[in-house]
A = this chain, B = another copy of it.
Amino acid sequence: MYLTRDPIDAAALVSRARACDGGVCVFVGVVRDHNEGRATTGIEYEAYGPMAEAEIRRLVNGLAERWPQVRVEILHRVGRLAIGDASVAVVATAPHRAEAFAACREAIDRLKTTVPIWKKEFYRDGTSDWVDPTRMHAAPRER
């Protein structure tokens, strides 16, 4: 299971990873209180659950093929998140640090572009928007 509705305990993930050898590279995404100049009060992640699980599994398998010595764990939160909450954690463990960094970076980069998860931002002015990193579709909508 790569998706969770519960808070991500990044510290616990790091503790577990430390049990194995070499270098551990961890990335944790944290919900910010602003984005592109607008004050935010929280966000909501929605996933196409079964496909997101399958995509992350494919991503992890692809990393294992490319870096056989690296172990990658990924956990992404869905549902409503508050400022300061961890949205995602990637933990890459490897005998050497170059591989740990490379696999961790590749994991988060690919996750952000391929896994069907969507983010709605809630703004201090009471509006909300689905975030569109590609800016390909329609103008920001309000509600």
Decide if the interface of chain A is mainly helix, strand, loop or mixed: mixed
Smallest beta-carbon distance A135→chain B, Å: 17
Chain B residue numbers with a CB within 8 Å of A12 are 11
Interface magnitude class on chain A: 20 to 34
Chain B residue numbers with a CB within 8 Å of A23 are 27-30
Question: Is A39 among interface residues, defined by CB-CB distance under 8 A?
Answer: no
How far is A23 from B29 in the complex, measured between Cα atoms in Å?
5
Chain B residue numbers with a CB within 8 Å of A21 are 30-33, 83-84
Partner of A28, one of B26, B27, B29, B95: B26
> 18 additional contacts, CB 8 Å, given A17-B28, A23-B30?
A10-B14, A11-B11, A14-B26, A18-B28, A18-B30, A19-B84, A21-B30, A21-B32, A22-B30, A23-B28, A23-B29, A24-B29, A26-B26, A26-B28, A27-B100, A29-B97, A101-B101, A101-B105
